[in-house]
Amino acid sequence: MEDVIEAPEEVTPEWLTSALFKSGFLKSGKVIYLKNTLTKTLPLSVVARFEVRYSEGAAGSPPTKLFLKLPRPDLSKSFSSELNSKEADFYNIVAPEMKDPPFISCFSATFSPASGKSHLLLEDLTETHFQPLSPYPPSRSYCELAMDCMARLHAHWWEHPRLGKEIGALFDRAQLNAFVAELEKNVLNFVDFLRDGLSAERRKIYDRLLSSSYKIWGRLTERTGLTVTHGDAHWWNLLYPRERNTHGVRLFDWHLWHVDVGARDLAFMVALGGYSERRAELEQSLIRRYHESLVAQGVSNYSWNDCWDDYRWSAIRNLNIPIIQWIQEKSTEEWRRNLERAMDAYEDLRCFDLLNK
């Protein structure tokens, strides 16, 4: 395994030449020019951009612009390991199995269990793609492209025989029992913390969540209807093409990928994320777009009603998101906003009907 880069200054022409040869993007020649054009510290990472030039006659498909992602040096080893090991695994194990995947091209992804450090060397798509300004979601047409992007990921891994083996993990009964026990503890603590800040009706909703836990999460013990999911699929974890006829949407930030119901990503994006005031207007048409794209890419025995119900089941799971954020000590504004969105979607989608079946 190649050494982990711990600072942008460690990226040298010699190191980059070696890394690109190992990943197959450079077949001959070498890097002769390397310029760091930006270094920036973000809440969980340090990122840098590079411009690159190669010797005359260099062969392969070497990139001319690169994006380096490193964990912040002040993160604890345990937190850094948890955050970054899965992302490196995704680029080394999952992404290479897909032809023309809807991800950013990765030239080097390395994680060190000993230090908890990691690096990702990605293609810099600044000139061809953009991110919408948070907290505003993209336009409807870009949201539709995002649905196509999610369907490409999910369709490829739909009930794939490697799920739960070489690719991700499924719940076994013991893990499911442990999850449900932890869920019950957290929900009860959250409800107790809010006291009169939670209405009697909403307390009943959480009671119903707990009494139906195995119904809601139990299907994660079987491969049927499962796929590889992003796990943090909000609108701002996608890059959108400036020229739609030339480039596609690209997903990034894979530190929470796992095996799950594909609609779980959609419920996080649409039911919980970004524009609750426009959700009713766009929601069903976006999920239909996703389903049609799944079917077009070969997913069978999965009807529109199946997809819509999976989306509603996943919206029920959104009720756990504000609790997780509260435990993680996210801002009160953030978890309260998501509590309102999750409750609104639960009511609007008549999720209680699913629990009564």
Mean pLDDT of 132-146: 88
Q: Distances from the Cα of 134 to the Cαs of 23, 66, 236, in angstroms?
A: 34, 24, 7
DSSP letters of 159-172?
T-TTBTTTB-----
- Please report the pLDDT score of residue 80 as a whole number: 86
Strand partners, 31: 54
Percent of the chain with pLDDT over 90: 87
- Please report the pLDDT score of residue 354 as a whole number: 95
Which residue bears the tokens 């013991």? 174
Weakest-pLDDT range from 1-5, 14-18, 145-149, 153-157: 1-5
User: Tell me, what DSSP letter sits at residue 163?
Assistant: B
- Please report the pLDDT score of residue 277 as a whole number: 65
Give pLDDT tens digits for 219-253: 999 999 999 999 999 999 999 999 998 999 999 99
Confidence of residue 3 (pLDDT cuts 50, 70, 90): confident
- The 3-state DSSP class for residue 274 equals coil
pLDDT at residue 317 greater than cutoff 60: yes
- Please report the pLDDT score of residue 301 as a whole number: 93
CA distance 232 to 119: 20
CA distance 356 to 336: 27
Confidence of residue 316 (pLDDT cuts 50, 70, 90): very high
- Cis peptide preceding 138, ω within 30 of 0: no
Report if pTM > 0.85: yes
Q: Distances from the Cα of 85 to the Cαs of 28, 45, 93, 104, 114, in angstroms?
A: 31, 14, 12, 18, 11
- Please report the pLDDT score of residue 2 as a whole number: 65
- Please report the pLDDT score of residue 307 as a whole number: 98
Percent of the chain with pLDDT over 70: 98
User: Tell me, what DSSP letter sits at residue 32?
Assistant: E
Angle at 296 between CA 292 and CA 298, to 5 degrees: 120
What residues have CB less than 8 Å from 351, skipping those under 6 apart? 312, 313, 315, 316, 345
pLDDT at residue 280 greater than cutoff 80: no
Mean pLDDT of 133-140: 84
Strands 45-54, 65-71: pairing is antiparallel
Tell me the domains of the chain and their CATH numbers. Answer: 8-123 (3.30.200), 131-355 (3.90.1200.10)
Mean per-residue pLDDT over the chain, rounded = 94
- Please report the pLDDT score of residue 274 as a whole number: 64
- Please report the pLDDT score of residue 133 as a whole number: 83
* 224-256 CB burial, b ≥16 within 10 A, e <16: ebbbbbbbbbbbbbbbbbeeeeeebbbbbbbbb
pLDDT at residue 204 greater than cutoff 70: yes
Give pLDDT tens digits for 70-85: 999 998 888 888 888 9
Confidence of residue 217 (pLDDT cuts 50, 70, 90): very high
Give pLDDT tens digits for 281-311: 889 999 999 999 999 999 999 999 999 999 9
Q: Which residue has the higher pLDDT, 134 or 163?
A: 163
Strand partners, 123: 66
Residues 179/224, Cβ–Cβ less than 8 Å: no
- Please report the pLDDT score of residue 107 as a whole number: 96
